[in-house]
Structure 1
Amino acid sequence: MTKPNSISVENWICNVLENSQNVKAELFAISLWSIWGERNNRLKGGKGRSPIDICIFAINFLEEYEAARGKNFQEQPGTRKVWSPPRDTTIKINFDAALDTERNRIGLGIIARNSLGKVIACLIEKVQGCLDPTIAECMAAEKAIYLGEKLNLKHVWIEGDSMEAIKMCQDTDVDMSIFGPRMKVLKKQMKAFDQYKISHIGRDGNQVAHILARYALHTTSQIIWLENFRKFITNMTREEAIICIESNELVF
């Protein structure tokens, strides 16, 4: 759709969004966001991506977002499938890892929310190196604990969708794997909180952390948000809060 000279950019964008199907409107919005991010990257001296790379990024980002929102994941019996709020002063920190084997890197996504479902902080980081999926998830758990420490939290609930990683974090036996020394440190760090819990959640209950992990693959350094969260974060967390309200799990 071309932009007529007689209308403003703002009206043109609104016109496109109002007259497009949902998927096309979402792709259009993500493309604009990607172009704006590319503009900021170049102003800061970044190398920059080609227009086709920006298009591919926007398409892949939308596909990942839609996949995370889908309801066709196979979950283990008894696994909780939706995000639930913590109680009282506890902060729940969800974590996830995304692997990009073609580019030999992983993305780590972390989000912390309070008992009202309000986002307290987010962390994303790209790590170079193709790792075992379980080890990558353990690295994400490390970052979840790191974020809890950085926020000076006392009561934390760590949650992820990798059953293997959760079991490694909960295991009291000596870990003889190559990641053993780091797991030992991780468990020690968890005990530094006044109260802590670590549990497994199905993929549907870990959507925001998953999207953040995918988003992290396209960053250059660790980013921590304490405010001014990305729109897709606020939209997804708002949807999950509404579900919690409808099921009487979240009361204002």
Structure 2
Amino acid sequence: MPPISPLYKINFDGPLFSDLDAAGLGVVIRDSCGLVVGALVERIPIPISASIVEALTCRRTLYFAKELSICELVYEGDAEVSIRALLSKEVVHPEYGHVLQDSLVIANDFRICDFVHIKRVGDSVAHFLARRAKFGNELQVWLEAILEDIAPLVSRDSL
């Protein structure tokens, strides 16, 4: 569901590509009408664990929203451990607590920043984008546009 205006909704995902020793980051930002205002795909060197990928993706997502000058957002992802830690502000994990702490510092720059855990089915566009990172080495960003191959996912997601 699109957020209530003036909020933006941000979905993110971060799968591991063990065969490439890499991970993918996928982010999509939509306005209250469900229209895509920004999308990002990035491949990074593989960290130690999936939890670290989740934490890094959380932080990158917030930086992307800040780069787009978004001030009020609902932040949705299926990274349950990271979302739970951000909600409770208990970010003391020795491997990735510092990354989540960075995320909380960035989140304080927004007027509204609500963290919400959702199931994978509600994160299909971000998941699809993150999987694209497997096939490219460079950062890819789209503003106020979407790729043709994700248009059906965005349309279905907005219903």
What TM bracket, shorter-length normalisation?
A: over 0.9
For residue 190 of structure 1, the aligned residue among 107, 110, 127 is 107
Q: Alpha-carbon deviation of 1:168?
A: 2.1
Which structure shows the bigger proportion of residues in helix conformation? Answer: 1
**Amino acid paired to 1:184:** Q
The farther-off stretch of 164-173 and 146-155 is 164-173
The DSSP-based 3-state class of the residue aligned with 1:108 is strand
Structure ranking higher on relative contact order (CA contacts 8 Å, 6+ apart) = 2
Identity of aligned residues (%): 27
The DSSP-based 3-state class of the residue aligned with 1:102 is helix
For residue 44 of structure 2, the aligned residue among 103, 127, 130 is 127
**Amino acid paired to 1:94:** N
> In structure 1, what is the Cα distance between the partners aligned to 2:93 and 2:117?
23
For residue 99 of structure 1, the aligned residue among 7, 16, 37 is 16
Which structure shows the bigger proportion of residues in strand conformation? Answer: 2
Alignment of 1:117-196 (within 5 A): 117-196=34-113
The DSSP-based 3-state class of the residue aligned with 1:216 is helix
Is there any run of 5+ residues in structure 1 with no aligned partner, and where? 1-83, 244-252
Contact 2:91 2:100 in 1 (8 A): no
> In structure 2, what is the Cα distance between the partners aligned to 1:225 and 1:239?
20
Per-residue deviation, residues 15-38 of structure 1 (Å, max 9, x unmatched): xxxxxxxxxxxxxxxxxxxxxxxx
The DSSP-based 3-state class of the residue aligned with 2:154 is helix
TM-score (norm 2): 0.94
Largest Rg, 1 or 2: 1
Q: Alpha-carbon deviation of 1:130?
A: 4.3
The DSSP-based 3-state class of the residue aligned with 1:217 is helix
> In structure 2, what is the Cα distance between the partners aligned to 1:141 and 1:177?
17
Work out the number of aligned pairs and report it: 159
> In structure 1, what is the Cα distance between the partners aligned to 2:10 and 2:49?
22
For residue 154 of structure 2, the aligned residue among 218, 222, 237 is 237
> In structure 2, what is the Cα distance between the partners aligned to 1:160 and 1:142?
12
Is there any run of 5+ residues in structure 2 with no aligned partner, and where? none
The farther-off stretch of 221-230 and 171-180 is 171-180
**Amino acid paired to 2:7:** T
Contact 1:101 1:130 in 2 (8 A): no
For residue 206 of structure 1, the aligned residue among 112, 120, 123 is 123
Q: How much is the aligned-residue C-alpha RMSD, in angstroms?
A: 1.3
**Amino acid paired to 1:182:** V
> In structure 1, what is the Cα distance between the partners aligned to 2:41 and 2:113?
22
